[in-house]
Structure 1
Amino acid sequence: MTEQPEQPTTAAAELAARSLGLAGAVNARDLGGYRTVDGRVLRTGVALRSDGLNRLTEADRAPFAALGIRHVVDLRSLDEVREAGPDKVPGLPVADISAVELSAEPLSVSAPGPDGITLHHLPVFAADFDIYVALRDALADRDPVKQQALLGDGRAAQMMVGLYRWFVTDPVARERFATVLRLLAAPDSPPVLFHCTAGKDRTGWTAALVLTALGVDRATVFEDYLLTNVRSGALVETIVDSFYTRGLMRDPSLLLPLFRADAAYLEAAFAEVEAGWSGFEEFWRSGLGLDDTVLAGLRKNLLGD
């Protein structure tokens, strides 16, 4: 059995209310309901975060449609999409994303009709910190010595810390996160759902940017980030244990730092912001290239009176 994941302090009732209720996307949840330091509350059903939508089931079609989502942002790399499959968004055509992998612009495809959903492929990945590739390599070679050399003795966690720092230091990554924020702030744009594979790292940093920009306190930002361990804990345990029973790994616990949210990862990203800019406001402007218009739009779309 695997270790128990780190638990946030959120009450079970609030956690259940935040869930989008999608059986094929267990980490799909609403950012609505969080309170800012000045007492305003994020609207529900406007900014949604999720793990991959490639596992949506037939039973998910009706609850997904009820969300009224207008834009879906897929932050996965081309390799991830090829391996796991495209998003199963009802009524949306499958796009060829091979041309967008290194493009400066996202690839967008829209369902027909005025109320159709638009899917944006906006891959965020780093060759030096590609967790998907590291996982694939670890499982492809069943040699426990090589797996230990790749992931053991804190190396997996170091890889994750490096990834979160890269979210902040890499200009292409910053621009792609900024693109999601612009979409959330655009008039008549929400509801917007953004996701990656696990809904943990790229999605987690995007959510942290949204909540911080709106004035949600840092403790709540971390609490939202760590909810992944609650939402996905049972699935992670099943997957990791299966690696052992299928003979893929002698010590599948080596993978846990890749599969779990850890406060140290998010702390690394915020530390990089503080190291490179005087504060979050300067990072918003010179790091993300966003202005007061985007911030005003984000507040208008996401915050209640």
Structure 2
Amino acid sequence: MSLGRRHIALEGVYNIRDLGGYATAQGTQTAWRRFLRADSPHALSEDGQARLQAEGLATVIDLRTGAEIAQTPNPFAKRAGVQYVHRPLFTELAPGTLAATADGSCPLLGFYQGALDDRHEALSDIMTLIAGADEGAVMFHCTAGKDRTGLVAALLLGLAEVSPEDIVADYALTEGLITELVAGFLEMSRQKGGDVVAYARLLAAPAATMRDTLAHLEARYGSVPRYLAQIGVAPGDITALSDRLHDSVPAR
């Protein structure tokens, strides 16, 4: 999958991407500059912040924990013209704190499935907030823009009836964009005496992980709209999300 206009390259961030341009089951495509998925913007320059606002950014939803924000504050929290909201998917646990499984495999699949099954209230709150956001682009992010951000992106694209193959491909794009970020994380782990090999597995974005996560959602809940309804997202908010995701332009 080509990044094309999807990736917004700015100094200080690695993984800001637009969810627009994906073909939907209705024969249209997801709308551009409605939803941006991202890594932490804490090092984003003033010019970068202004560029995003010029691109239509109106709302920033920070999925990180309070501890992460205290360590690397969000510049949009005090920026005029942008609504900043902190909505942690987890209040204490961050994906980076997970350990490798006993057999050496990556525990990300269990983490993703567990988030879908156990974090209903948090995910419902996040999706409801997105549905009611002001007109303009909504950017949601965590630290690397991979795990927590990846789950929210998958739910949005699934609601738009983007194919599972494209949702998986969108997730997998992260790995090629965050190599420098990952190298920094691994070096910090090495300096602290951490298990760098196990940590590297957590920082990967294997396509099979998202593919199996989507299969779990379908097997247990039936579909993304049914999942959202079951976790407490109001029908009107599901409709608002769907309307915001879709574009009347036919897919090419």
- TM-score, length of structure 2 as denominator length: 0.86
**Partner residue in 1 for 2:111:** 163
Corresponding position: 1:266 with 2:187: no
Q: Is this contact kept in 2: 1:168–1:272, CA < 8 A?
A: no
Cα RMSD over matched residues?
2.5
- 1:199-228: CA deviation from partner (whole Å, max 9, x where unpaired): 001100000000000110000000001110
Seen in structure 2, the aligned counterparts of structure 1 residues 59 and 279 have a Cα distance that, compared at 3 Å, is closer
- TM-score, length of structure 1 as denominator length: 0.72
**Partner residue in 2 for 1:3:** none
**Partner residue in 2 for 1:100:** none
Name which one, 1 or 2, has greater alpha-carbon Rg: 1
* Matched AA of 2:86: H
**Partner residue in 1 for 2:96:** 132
* Matched AA of 1:80: E
Q: How far apart are 1:191 and its partner, in Å?
A: 1.3
Q: How far apart are 1:119 and its partner, in Å?
A: 0.7
**Partner residue in 2 for 1:144:** none
**Partner residue in 1 for 2:82:** 117
Three-state SS of the structure 2 residue aligned to 1:193 is strand
Q: Is this contact kept in 2: 1:80–1:132, CA < 8 A?
A: no
| Alignment length (residue pairs) | 248
Corresponding position: 1:280 with 2:215: no
Q: How far apart are 1:236 and its partner, in Å?
A: 1.7
Q: Distance in 2 between matches of 1:69 and 1:33?
A: 18
Structure 1: any 5+ residue segments left out of the alignment? 1-9, 94-110, 135-149
Three-state SS of the structure 2 residue aligned to 1:52 is coil
Seen in structure 2, the aligned counterparts of structure 1 residues 176 and 163 have a Cα distance that, compared at 3 Å, is same
Deviates most, 223-232 or 180-189 = 180-189
Seen in structure 2, the aligned counterparts of structure 1 residues 285 and 250 have a Cα distance that, compared at 3 Å, is closer
Corresponding position: 1:54 with 2:27: no
* Aligned-residue identity in percent: 29
- 1:109-150: CA deviation from partner (whole Å, max 9, x where unpaired): xx55xxx211111111276x643334xxxxxxxxxxxxxxx5
| 1:52-201 equivalent positions in 2, closer than 5 A | 52-83=40-71, 85-89=72-76, 92-93=77-78, 116-125=81-90, 130-134=94-98, 151=100, 154-155=103-104, 157-158=106-107, 160-170=108-118, 173-186=119-132, 188-201=134-147
